[in-house]
Structure 1
């Protein structure tokens, strides 16, 4: 009986150690993830040249990450899931470190003075559902690797300074519902690949320099503005 009792105690102790080690392991991963998010947001802050409303004043090590203004975290993992800096009168470029916010589902930078390129690193955000960049001064091209944002349903880059063509790769965004790139300097033809997106309901293209016919594959759209 003593041997059996000792065995039970040993198994219980081993199980306790295993649970403790697993808990420490998970905690370590969570803390590392939070630190990655913190570093990414501080990199974004470092490129903000004008913040008249003091939006990013709370972005410092004395305030808990999930309490920073414009930030919302998930309840389960305490990772950043929303970045909303819209209507804040910010003047900035967008740091490529935004691509390290791997739990992001929502980005809204609309109605500011962001300029420079749209970082192709955004294509690493596989969970991203909404990307709003409207009413800024983003230039350059629409990154083709936005097509890697496989969960994207809403892309709004109206009223910027985007140039060249709409990438054919955007036809791989099979959950996309709204594509809004009106009032830019886009050229070329509208990709027929957009007709592959059965979920696409709205497309806004007016005031660009696009040419050619509207592809027949887009005839099912509920709303068009070309």
Structure 2
């Protein structure tokens, strides 16, 4: 089994542990697809952006402390200030946190989910999903919630949505991919319901981030599909809409 299939199996294990605690099937299930030993971008390599994003979140919080909250006031999602043209708040609010516990929870979530998603999506697509989800979450919060808001949870929910779509898209490559996508959706639903019952939780930001992550991943991919070559070897072709739009196809 090539590196991509191995990464997919590791991803399934990671998310099963995170969401359901189940294990993989037998070796025959994991070996059911043989691929040419060519690495699609994003199937291996360092988790560069995960570490950068963690450092940015921690650094921003230290800057908040150093400025005695002035940075928080400058960058939080505050609707009436956004109405006055301070649109940067839709992005900066995702790198600020209300307190140390808020920061730790979000950094822990990013630390656990980020590396796997960065390897599966590739560095550029991972960053696009994270930032797109952050802005989408802040934007939905802006339209549907008048309360000030900060935190990376919208972006993290976007990674969760991205993972669900990834598993669903690649159900033919990953054992129980569709089932794992359904498990993720159920866990997200539980979190949204619990968030509705806890004061101070920006559920609109979570929902917006989730939808943003799904939308960006749907458009940018990856959407790997097996293709049999004339020499009898099977390769993966990325059928993401972005490649159809620009008239090219990406192969692995």
Larger RCO (alpha carbons 8 Å, 6+ apart): 2
Task: Give TM-score, length-normalised by structure 1.
Answer: 0.22
Task: Give TM-score, length-normalised by structure 2.
Answer: 0.20
Structure with more helix by fraction: 2
**Bigger Rg over Cα:** 1
